[in-house]
A = this chain, B = another copy of it.
Amino acid sequence: MNTIISKLGKFTSETAQVDEAAIKPLPNSRKIYVEGTRPDIQVPMREISQSDTAISSGTEKNPPIYVYDTSGPYTDPAVKIDIRAGLSPLREKWVDERGDTERLSGLTSAYSRERLNNPKLSQMRFNLQRPPRRAKTGINVTQMHYARRGMITPEMEYIAIRENQRREMMEAQGNELLVRQHTGHDFGAAIPRLITPEFVRDEVARGRAIIPANINHPESEPMIIGRNFLVKINANIGNSALGSSIQEEVEKMTWAIRWGGDTVMDLSTGKNIHETREWIIRNSPVPIGTVPIYQALEKVDGKAEELTWEIFRDTLLEQAEQGVDYFTIHAGVRLPFIPMTAKRMTGIVSRGGSIMAKWCLAHHQESFLYTHFEEICDIMKAYDVSFSLGDGLRPGSIYDANDEAQFAELKTLGELTQIAWKHDVQVMIEGPGHVPMHLIKENMDLQLKYCQEAPFYTLGPLTTDIAPGYDHITSAIGAAMIGWYGTAMLCYVTPKEHLGLPDKDDVKDGIITYKIAAHAADLAKGHPGAQIRDNALSKARFEFRWNDQFNLSLDPDKAKQFHDETLPQEGAKLAHFCSMCGPNFCSMKITQDVRDYAAQQGMSEDDALKKGMEQKSTEFKEKGAEIYSKL
């Protein structure tokens, strides 16, 4: 997979192509759109059709299953994808209608203008013709602001339809085996039976959920992050000074959303960050997050002490006008907290946190992110960029988990949340890191308390340090748990964590692993409808509908590939066994045999079992009912 660069040669905007693997239809799947109250609300879902079940009286239909679809137009064969043109701006009309923004005559950021006018970059530049948009002077254009004024935006309605995944329709079918679900344990969440547009509005208004939706990213399909909604996952991509190209980063993005990435963070720290980001945003149907301080640092050649508020501010404007949907801002790394990290095993492991710590120490000054926080809010609300308040002091080892520095910062993030909310700016809070299982819940509890239920967005946490190469797994354990406890979005960790830059294979491994964690959390919380897919897949498994089992899984390609390693013949897809046990030993088959045996006796299985039982029960009772009495 990592041979893209060599295959394609130098990246140019003229020759840029979509990754063929990203637009291949998923097996037995169809893109459908559910219409809202207006024809331009068309909510995409993936419909997975199933084959019939053979029963004695003929066949029984298995209904199609609907799953949340993050892949955007890429998996719609009716849409012609040309990454040079970017995606269609589906939200543009909605933003226009609100009439509270204006088209700018040019780019606000000096750096953006410089990049635009640099002839050397023309070959790699995405040529966006549309001028950037900004709120009219003095106006707030955040979804939170609308929500607080009682307005249900098309974005909110879109989200309500999307979150329900047609479960009201599935439930109306009355198929108990499909829709029955365990009562969850949600630790005080407030998940309704059905998500309504009004519920979305209310959650955004009170800050319990965010809709990352920059007015300059109209290509994005609205989604929500909050503890009363489906748990989301984020995929980090981005180049470094040592590797990757624009083409490769765009491919990581399209690959990540194909497998279920709900948002993507572009963490590039290498060459041409500005142009790379533009290509990603123009082609991304999911919100894009960044850490602006990374690029600001590049602008001062990596010398943290030379960073200034002005450079940082220009970077915020640059990225806000490109359409970044959320910014990680490490404003909680305050000067007084830095000494608290001196006794740590691994100091400050957040890149943003360490950059700011270095700046603070070099200047013996409070962080400019903290001192300029309200000015940052002013920028955020002019474009509707959401805060992702960074945990710059997160623990980088089990040893450092839940220490004074970490929680001092978390408390500060809670204070900053209040300030952002004062401005009606949307906020989520980043969380750790490396935390042993028994200390995870304290993180969630304190976050809920300090940050008043602003959505928590955690990296793992990793539950042990001893497995580099497998940190997608060490962290999936912690991620599933903290997702259950109430975390709204889980930032994936790939197998390459601590070791190298992830390639496309790693991106997919990270995504699938985190889809597992997020879904396990939804099940444990008892999120309505979450169990439908498990039920459908297990029914297919039990009935030896192998292809349905593969197609309903998170990764149909791998499931099929593993099965086919030992039984590649097409006929084996109908066989009532697999290579694990062979024909005689399959427990599923034996259970079927038990049911068939009962059917042959001319009674229903249940009756057959009960009848046999009653006879035996009487016998046992006559013999004294105690099996061990005779021994």
A residues in contact (CB < 8 Å) with B: 2, 177, 180, 182, 184-185, 240-243, 269-270, 294, 297-298, 301-302, 304, 335-336, 338-339, 341-343, 345-351, 353-355, 357-358, 361-362, 364-366, 370-371, 373-375, 396-399, 401-402, 419, 434, 436-439, 463-470, 472-474, 476-477, 480-481, 484, 495-496, 498-501, 503, 512-513, 515-517, 519-521, 523-526, 531, 533-535, 537-539, 541-542, 549-550, 552-555, 558-559, 561-563, 565-567, 578-588, 590-595, 597-598, 605-606, 608-610, 612-613, 615-617, 620, 627-628, 631
Task: Tell me, rounded to whole Å, the shortest Cβ–Cβ distance linking A316 to chain B.
Answer: 17
Q: Which residue of B has the minimal Cβ distance to A400?
A: B538
Cβ contacts under 8 Å, A481 to chain B: 437, 477, 481
Report the Cα distance A177→B355, complex, angstroms: 25
Cβ contacts under 8 Å, A468 to chain B: 537, 541, 549-550, 553, 559, 562
Cβ contacts under 8 Å, A465 to chain B: 533-535, 537-538, 541
Tell whether, in the assembled complex, residue A398 and residue B500 are in contact, meaning their CB atoms are under 8 Å apart: no
Closest 4 CB pairs of A and B: A241-B582, A302-B584, A347-B591, A397-B538
Q: Which residue of B has the minimal Cβ distance to A357?
A: B594
Answer whether A361 and B594 are a contact pair too, CB < 8 Å, given A397-B534, A476-B477: yes
Task: Tell me, rounded to whole Å, the shortest Cβ–Cβ distance linking A227 to chain B.
Answer: 15
5 other A-B residue contacts (CB within 8 Å) besides A301-B584, A355-B590, A477-B516: A339-B609, A397-B538, A399-B531, A438-B524, A465-B535
Tell whether, in the assembled complex, residue B533 and residue A566 are in contact, meaning their CB atoms are under 8 Å apart: no
Tell whether, in the assembled complex, residue B339 and residue A538 are in contact, meaning their CB atoms are under 8 Å apart: no
Tell whether, in the assembled complex, residue A567 and residue B466 are in contact, meaning their CB atoms are under 8 Å apart: no
Cβ contacts under 8 Å, A472 to chain B: 473
Task: Tell me, rounded to whole Å, the shortest Cβ–Cβ distance linking A415 to chain B.
Answer: 9
Cβ contacts under 8 Å, A434 to chain B: 538
* A580 CB contact (under 8 Å) in B240, B302, B364, B437: B240
Answer whether A401 and B182 are a contact pair too, CB < 8 Å, given A297-B585, A354-B594, A484-B437: yes
Cβ contacts under 8 Å, A513 to chain B: 470, 473
Tell whether, in the assembled complex, residue A609 and residue B520 are in contact, meaning their CB atoms are under 8 Å apart: no
Cβ contacts under 8 Å, A559 to chain B: 468-469, 499
Cβ contacts under 8 Å, A346 to chain B: 538, 541-542, 588, 591
Tell whether, in the assembled complex, residue B474 and residue A516 are in contact, meaning their CB atoms are under 8 Å apart: yes
Answer whether A438 and B302 are a contact pair too, CB < 8 Å, given A351-B585, A468-B549, A516-B470: no
Task: Tell me, rounded to whole Å, the shortest Cβ–Cβ distance linking A357 to chain B.
Answer: 6
Q: Which residue of B has the minimal Cβ distance to A366?
A: B627
Task: Tell me, rounded to whole Å, the shortest Cβ–Cβ distance linking A29 to chain B.
Answer: 14
Cβ contacts under 8 Å, A616 to chain B: 335-336, 364-366
Answer whether A439 and B582 are a contact pair too, CB < 8 Å, given A354-B594, A481-B481: no
Tell whether, in the assembled complex, residue B464 and residue A563 are in contact, meaning their CB atoms are under 8 Å apart: no
Task: Tell me, rounded to whole Å, the shortest Cβ–Cβ distance linking A67 to chain B.
Answer: 9
* A364 CB contact (under 8 Å) in B294, B358, B566, B615: B615
Tell whether, in the assembled complex, residue B500 and residue A562 are in contact, meaning their CB atoms are under 8 Å apart: yes
Cβ contacts under 8 Å, A419 to chain B: 628
Tell whether, in the assembled complex, residue A438 and residue B534 are in contact, meaning their CB atoms are under 8 Å apart: no
Tell whether, in the assembled complex, residue A243 and residue B579 are in contact, meaning their CB atoms are under 8 Å apart: yes
Tell whether, in the assembled complex, residue A585 and residue B366 are in contact, meaning their CB atoms are under 8 Å apart: no
Answer whether A437 and B520 are a contact pair too, CB < 8 Å, given A357-B594, A396-B538: yes
Tell whether, in the assembled complex, residue A552 and residue B609 are in contact, meaning their CB atoms are under 8 Å apart: no
Tell whether, in the assembled complex, residue B362 and residue A554 are in contact, meaning their CB atoms are under 8 Å apart: no
Cβ contacts under 8 Å, A357 to chain B: 590-591, 594
Tell whether, in the assembled complex, residue B180 and residue A399 are in contact, meaning their CB atoms are under 8 Å apart: yes
